[in-house]
Structure 1
Amino acid sequence: MRVIALFTLLLLTGCSSLSLDNPIGMLDTNMLDTAPQSDQDVRYPEWGHAPQPAPVSVAVPAVATPIQRPQRQASASGYSSLEQFLMQNGIDYEVMPGNHIMVKLKHTMQFATGSAQLSSDSAYWLNIMSQFLSRERGIDIVIEGHTDNTGTTTLNDGLSVRRAQSVKDTLVRNNVARNAIFTRGYGESIPACTNSTTQGRACNRRVELLLIVSNN
Structure 2
Amino acid sequence: MLTATTQRVEDGQALRYRFMEMEDRYRKQALAMACALISLVDLRDAYTGGHSSRVASYARATALRLGLPDGQLDKVVMGALLHDIGKIGVPDHVLLKRGRLTDEEFAHIKKHPELGWMALKNIEDFKPISLIVLHHHERMDGVGYPGGLKGNAIPLGSRIIAVADSYDALTTDRPYRTARTKQQAIDELLRCVDVQFDSRVLAAFLDALD
Judge same fold: TM > 0.5, yes or no: no
Q: Normalised by the size of structure 1, how large is the TM-score?
A: 0.30
Larger RCO: 1 or 2 (CA < 8 Å, sep 6+) = 1
> Comparing both structures, which one devotes a greater share of its residues to helix?
2
Larger Rg: 1
